[in-house]
Structure 1
Amino acid sequence: MKSYLNVHDIMAINGVSKSKAYHILRTLRAEKVEGVAFQDTYESKLIGKAVIPSKIYLEFFPNATGNVRALGN
């Protein structure tokens, strides 16, 4: 399973347009998990703005587990 998902991964999993995928990415980066928003973490600043950890994505889209696994590494 990929550790991080980018916009193209979100487009493939959700079957949405690029603009909708960016909206999902921005929304999930701003969501607080265990009291911290991913966009505010050191990890986020180091990796960049164009990804979200698969763990956070799956917390909000639990039915997509099989699709995320299918993406591979």
Structure 2
Amino acid sequence: MKSYLNVNDIMKINGVSRAKAYKILRTLRAEKQDGVAFQDTYESKLIGKAVIPSKIYLNFFPHASGSIRALGE
């Protein structure tokens, strides 16, 4: 399974346009988990703005686990 998902991965998994995939990415990066938004973490600043950890993605889209596994192969 991929550790991080980018916009192209989100487009494939959800079957959405690039603009919608970016909106999903920005929304998930801003969501707080355990009191901290991913976009505010050191890890986020280190790897850049164009990815989201698959763990966070699966918290909001649990049905996508099989699709993420298929991307990693």
TM-score category of the 2 structures, normalised to the smaller one: over 0.9
Deviations 1:14-65 (A, max 9, x none): 0000000000000000000111100000000000000000000000000000
- Tell me the equivalent position of 2:65: 65
Q: What is the alpha-carbon distance in structure 2 between the residues aligned to residue 16 and residue 26 of structure 1?
A: 15
Q: Please state if 1:15 is matched with 2:15.
A: yes
Tell me the amino acid that sits aligned with residue 16 of structure 1.
V
- Tell me the equivalent position of 1:45: 45
Pairs aligned (count): 73
CA-based RMSD of the aligned residues comes to 0.8
* 4+ residue segments displaced more than 6 Å: none
Q: What is the alpha-carbon distance in structure 2 between the residues aligned to residue 68 and residue 30 of structure 1?
A: 21
Shift of 1:13: 0.1
When the two structures are superposed, what TM-score results if normalisation uses the length of structure 2? 0.98
Q: Unaligned 5+ residue runs, structure 1?
A: none
3-state DSSP of counterpart to 1:52: strand
When the two structures are superposed, what TM-score results if normalisation uses the length of structure 1? 0.98
